[in-house]
């Protein structure tokens, strides 16, 4: 069975947590597409060459979850040639037999507009910055500024800007527990699977 769950949204909204839980619940494979861009940014050198040479092992690299790696990812993701090099990797993963969950910024709008389920997971900048601060520490005001800067870059880029697909189910997790957010996402996927028979 080919069945794609596309989860988009800004940094620290809960996409990854929801994506991993949905994949585990249905036995689908999971890809945090942000790791692709983080790995390219972390490799240094020419980002286009790094994207073209990316292999699955690069996603296991230490330090890909740091704030610095996230900022580097956002910068290289704004380069059209980097995005083009990584699109096919993501599409092959998404449409392989057995079901897949991909979370990122442009999965439902660009990578897999034909996805069977599209979720757009968001939360206020303040809530997302607080979550990220709990993960990485430092000065919470600086983390908030970085979250806002990243949002502006991700939403304002010319190529594949961050936005909800027209047919996405939008979930604001600002005041939701993790359990409630996961349950809501699972219910959406279950309903779609039932519709498909």
Is 12 assigned a ligand-binding role in the annotation? yes
Is 41 assigned a ligand-binding role in the annotation? no
- For residue 64, pLDDT beyond 80: yes
Is 99 assigned a ligand-binding role in the annotation? no
Is 16 assigned a ligand-binding role in the annotation? yes
pLDDT in tens, 101-152: 999 999 999 999 999 999 999 999 999 999 999 988 999 999 999 999 989 9
Q: What is the pLDDT of residue 66?
A: 86
Is 173 assigned a ligand-binding role in the annotation? no
Is 15 assigned a ligand-binding role in the annotation? yes
Is 44 assigned a ligand-binding role in the annotation? no
pLDDT in tens, 71-99: 898 889 889 999 899 998 899 899 989 99
Is 57 assigned a ligand-binding role in the annotation? no
HEC sequence for the chain: CCCEEEEECCCCCCHHHHHHHHHHHHCCEEEECHHHHHHHHHHCCCHHHHHHCCCHHHHHCCCCCCHHHHHHHHHHHCCHHHHHHHHHHHHHHHCCCCCEEEEECCHHHHHCCCCCEEEEEECCHHHHHHHHHHHHCCCHHHHHHHHHHHHHHHHHCCCCCCCCCCCCEEEECCCCCHHHHHHHHHHHHHHHHHHHC
What domains, with CATH codes, occur in the chain?
4-196 (3.40.50.300)
pLDDT confidence bin for 34, thresholds 50/70/90: confident
């Amino acid at each position: 069975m080919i069945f794609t769950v596309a989860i988009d949204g800004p940094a620290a909204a809960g996409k990854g947590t929801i994506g991993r839980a949905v994949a585990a619940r249905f036995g689908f494979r999971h890809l945090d597409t942000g790791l692709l861009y983080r790995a390219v940014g972390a490799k240094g050198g020419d980002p286009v060459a790094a994207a073209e040479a990316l292999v699955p092992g690069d996603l296991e690299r230490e330090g890909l979850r740091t704030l610095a790696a996230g900022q580097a990812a956002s910068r290289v993701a704004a380069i059209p040639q980097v995005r083009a090099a990584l699109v096919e990797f993501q599409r092959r993963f998404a449409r392989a037999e057995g079901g897949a969950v991909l979370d990122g910024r442009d999965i439902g709008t660009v990578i897999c507009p034909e996805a069977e389920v599209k979720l757009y997971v968001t939360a206020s900048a303040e809530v997302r910055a607080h979550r990220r601060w709990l993960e990485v520490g430092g000065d919470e005001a600086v983390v908030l500024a970085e979250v806002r800067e990243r949002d502006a870059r991700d939403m304002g880029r010319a190529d594949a800007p961050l936005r909800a697909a027209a047919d996405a189910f939008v979930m604001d997790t600002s005041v939701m527990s993790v359990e409630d957010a996961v349950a809501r996402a699972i219910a959406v996927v279950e309903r779609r699977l039932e519709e498909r028979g």
